[in-house]
Chains A and B, each alone.
Chain A
Amino acid sequence: MLEFMTILIIKTLVAFTVSLLIVAYSTWIERKVLGHVQLRHGPTRVGFHGLMQPIADGIKGFFKEELVPDNADKPLFLIAPIISIFASVTLVVLIPFGDTVTIMGREITLYLTDLDVGMLLILGISTIGSYGGIIGGWSSGNKYGVIGGLRGTAQMISYELPLALAVIAVVMVSGSLSLIDIVNSQTGLWNIVKQPFAFVLFIICGLAELNRTPFDMPEAEAELACGFNVEYSSMKFALFFMAEYCHMFVFSALVTTLFLGGWHGPFVDGPHWFFLKTFMMIFFCVWERSTFPRLRYDQVMSFGWKILLPCGLINILLTGLWMLVFNI
């Protein structure tokens, strides 16, 4: 029992440290890649090629002055960033980093839990997390904030459905809701080959859930002056920021798990493949941000309801027919 607990605690600490380091450095990746895409250098001053920049930013966040607007709804204003960060960090628990390894004669699994409803838990908790931004926008007593929060809710409702439909197609092919079983069902042939359509659908809807650029309605700088987090300063703003990047890491890890075979790969299977694919997805997120312009709000809504939702339903129908005909 004691040994089990010790292993669990060490595993949890390692998983969270690694994930939060990745989160911190994905902000560095974002700034560096965006800089080079726009023919700038990005951060260069702190450390080698600005490598200490995330740490400097963290320290800066702690020491900045904290402002709470007079007409803010204070309890909600305080709790909003906490909800955001709580949800995205909790999701790290469910990510399968790799299969079992043997360390000092003990079989150790490179994931924290294997729930048979793991995929549903991820969908549920990420919805709870989106309340953070909405409450933050509403409670700050700023009209830009309220509009940002309003857009956030509408976008969440519209894109949650096709996202779930894409996941259902994968679950149909893999025959399980457990992330470990989904990865194990992809030995040999990855789900991106079996479900290319669901892959595209998942990435588009995932970017909308992340509020990244073609869909960054809640925080459109040009229209809303930063949207839902406009009144936040110092560490509260940093928590929103961290939650966003943590969510991006979880999204990349989920794409890897659901479609790109998780820890499977040529030569030796292992967590190195998982991290390689996850970093490729993080790079993709940054790359598309620097490539696509922002959509108009009504375009985002009609695209979600009139194109993505029917596509998701048709994909499930075709997958079902395919499974029926070939008797899988």
Chain B
Amino acid sequence: MELVFLLICGGMAVISSLLVIFARSTLHSALWMVLSFFMVAIIYVLLHAEFLAMLQVIVYAGAIMMFVVYAIMMLNLRQERDAKVSVRVSKVVGVAALVVLFLELLLVGLGHSLTAMQGPITDSLVATHGRVAVISNFLFADYLLPFEVVSILLTAGVVGAVVLAKRVK
């Protein structure tokens, strides 16, 4: 049952990711991307990572893609424009990246067995405390420093974006 769901959602995620690239209209690309994020969220649910799945839906499918859709509508990119990048260069770069990625996947797949690593969040912990409590305990106690560093980095990113936007004016 889970395998069937996994195959359906994984397949849809792959197909919609491909359609992000191949869709002619910019808005269609963005919407296929929303679907792809949503399908990945369902795969997280199948892996019993509900909290992560919800964050995926809220942050990626919700907030970020909403911004992207807003930008597309604001700039009125209804007609597809001719790509400015030379096609030959992008073809060469694309094929090279594809080969490198494929080799990397092959190396990982052949080098190790593909069983998941056992992390600190185990089934017994989740059963006694609840999933969200376990994750937040790890996040705000054991991994507090990395969490704060990432927060500061993101804040710096936001401030940098504002500065760059102001300079254009």
Do A and B assemble together? yes
Q: Which residues of A contact B (CB under 8 A)?
A: 73, 76, 115-117, 120-121, 123-125, 127-128, 130-131, 134-135, 138, 146, 149-150, 153-154, 156-157, 160, 176-178
Report how far A146 CA is from B74 CA in the complex, Å: 9
Report how far A156 CA is from B25 CA in the complex, Å: 23
Contacts of A121 in B (CB 8 A): 54, 57
In the complex, the answer to whether A177 meets B66 with C-beta atoms within 8 Å is: no
In the complex, the answer to whether B62 meets A124 with C-beta atoms within 8 Å is: yes
Given contacts A134-B69, A134-B73, 9 further A-B pairs with CB under 8 A are: A116-B132, A127-B62, A128-B61, A130-B66, A131-B69, A135-B31, A153-B66, A157-B70, A176-B132
Can you give 7 contacting A-B residue pairs, CB < 8 Å?
A76-B28, A117-B132, A128-B57, A160-B62, A160-B63, A176-B132, A177-B132
Q: Is the interface of A mostly helix, strand, loop or mixed?
A: helix
In the complex, the answer to whether A157 meets B131 with C-beta atoms within 8 Å is: no
Report how far A160 CA is from B67 CA in the complex, Å: 12
Report how far A34 CA is from B142 CA in the complex, Å: 55
In the complex, the answer to whether A138 meets B27 with C-beta atoms within 8 Å is: yes
B27-42 interface (Cβ within 8 A of A): 27-28, 31, 34, 38
* Cβ 8 A contact of B70, one of A125, A127, A154: A154
In the complex, the answer to whether A149 meets B63 with C-beta atoms within 8 Å is: no
> Measured between C-beta atoms, what is the minimum distance from A251 to chain B in Å?
17
B121-138 interface (Cβ within 8 A of A): 130-132
Contacts of A120 in B (CB 8 A): 51, 54-55, 58
In the complex, the answer to whether A124 meets B61 with C-beta atoms within 8 Å is: yes
* Cβ 8 A contact of B73, one of A73, A116, A125, A138: A138
> Measured between C-beta atoms, what is the minimum distance from A184 to chain B in Å?
14
Known contacts A135-B31, A160-B63; A123/B58 CB under 8 A: yes
Known contacts A116-B50, A116-B132; A157/B67 CB under 8 A: yes
In the complex, the answer to whether A157 meets B63 with C-beta atoms within 8 Å is: yes
Known contacts A117-B50, A117-B51; A153/B73 CB under 8 A: yes
> Measured between C-beta atoms, what is the minimum distance from A82 to chain B in Å?
13
Number of chain B residues whose Cβ lies closer than 8 Å to a Cβ of chain A: 24
* Cβ 8 A contact of A124, one of B28, B58, B66: B58
In the complex, the answer to whether B63 meets A150 with C-beta atoms within 8 Å is: no
Q: Which residues of B contact A (CB under 8 A)?
A: 25, 27-28, 31, 34, 38, 50-51, 54-55, 57-58, 61-63, 66-67, 69-70, 73-74, 130-132
Report how far A124 CA is from B57 CA in the complex, Å: 6
* Cβ 8 A contact of B54, one of A117, A134, A146, A160: A117
> Measured between C-beta atoms, what is the minimum distance from A205 to chain B in Å?
15
Report how far A115 CA is from B132 CA in the complex, Å: 11
> Measured between C-beta atoms, what is the minimum distance from A141 to chain B in Å?
9
Contacts of B25 in A (CB 8 A): 73
B126 (CB) vs chain A CBs: closest residue: A116
> Measured between C-beta atoms, what is the minimum distance from B40 to chain A in Å?
13
Report how far A148 CA is from B162 CA in the complex, Å: 27
> Measured between C-beta atoms, what is the minimum distance from A92 to chain B in Å?
18
Report how far A157 CA is from B66 CA in the complex, Å: 7
Contacts of B62 in A (CB 8 A): 123-124, 127-128, 160
Contacts of A153 in B (CB 8 A): 66, 69-70, 73
Shortest beta-carbon contacts, A-B, top 3: A127-B62, A124-B57, A120-B54
In the complex, the answer to whether A117 meets B63 with C-beta atoms within 8 Å is: no
B25 (CB) vs chain A CBs: closest residue: A73
In the complex, the answer to whether B50 meets A146 with C-beta atoms within 8 Å is: no
Contacts of A117 in B (CB 8 A): 50-51, 54, 131-132
Report how far A149 CA is from B63 CA in the complex, Å: 16
Contacts of B55 in A (CB 8 A): 120
In the complex, the answer to whether B66 meets A149 with C-beta atoms within 8 Å is: no
Report how far A127 CA is from B67 CA in the complex, Å: 12
In the complex, the answer to whether A131 meets B57 with C-beta atoms within 8 Å is: no
Contacts of A116 in B (CB 8 A): 50, 130-132
> Measured between C-beta atoms, what is the minimum distance from A168 to chain B in Å?
12
Contacts of A124 in B (CB 8 A): 54, 57-58, 61-62
Report how far A121 CA is from B51 CA in the complex, Å: 9
Contacts of A149 in B (CB 8 A): 73
B67 (CB) vs chain A CBs: closest residue: A157
Contacts of A156 in B (CB 8 A): 66
In the complex, the answer to whether A127 meets B132 with C-beta atoms within 8 Å is: no
Report how far A125 CA is from B12 CA in the complex, Å: 19
In the complex, the answer to whether B63 meets A127 with C-beta atoms within 8 Å is: yes
